[in-house]
Amino acid sequence: MMRWLLLPALMLVASPVSATSIFTGIEERSKTIYTDLKGNNSYHAHLARKLAIYAGVEKGQADITAARQLMDLADEHARKAGGQ
C-alpha cells in the first residue's frame, strides 16, 4: 500500500525543484532577448519583449508549460527581429 503512495508523494516533492530549474532558463532567455534587442523598435522586437514579459508572469504563477510556450514564441520573434 505504501509503495503506491510513494510515487505521487515523490512527484509532489520533486516538482518544485524541477520547476525552479526550468524557470531559471526562462529568466535567462528573457534577459538575452532584452540585451539582444536593445534599441530595436521593430514589430518583432516589441512582440518578443512583450511575450517574454508574459512568460515571466506565467512563471510567477508556476505555469511551466505556458511560460515555456510564450518564451518559445518570444525567441521566434526575437530571431525575426534579428536579435538572436
Partner 1 sequence: MRILLLPLITALLSACVIAPLDIQRSELSEARALIAKSKAAGAERCAPEQQATAVARLYMAAHEYSEGDVHPEEQQELVEGSMKAAREAYRVARKGCSKKVEVITLEGVYFETNSDKLTDASVATLNGAVSTLKRRSSIHVEVAAHTDSRGSAAYNLDLSNRRAVSVMAYLTEHGVDAGRLSSKGYGETSPITDNGSAAGRAKNRRVELRIQ
Shortest separation between residue 33's beta carbon and partner 1, angstroms: 13
Shortest separation between residue 54's beta carbon and partner 1, angstroms: 5
Considering only CA atoms, which of 71, 2, 74 is closest in space to residue 44?
Answer: 74
Total interface residues for partner 1 by CB under 8 A:
23
DSSP H/E element including 80:
helix 64-80
Quick note: the x/- pattern for partner 1 over 6-45, rule CB under 8 A, is: -xx--x-----------------------------xxxxx
Binding site for partner 1 (CB under 8 A): 1, 4, 7-8, 11, 41-47, 49-51, 54, 58, 65-66, 68-70, 73
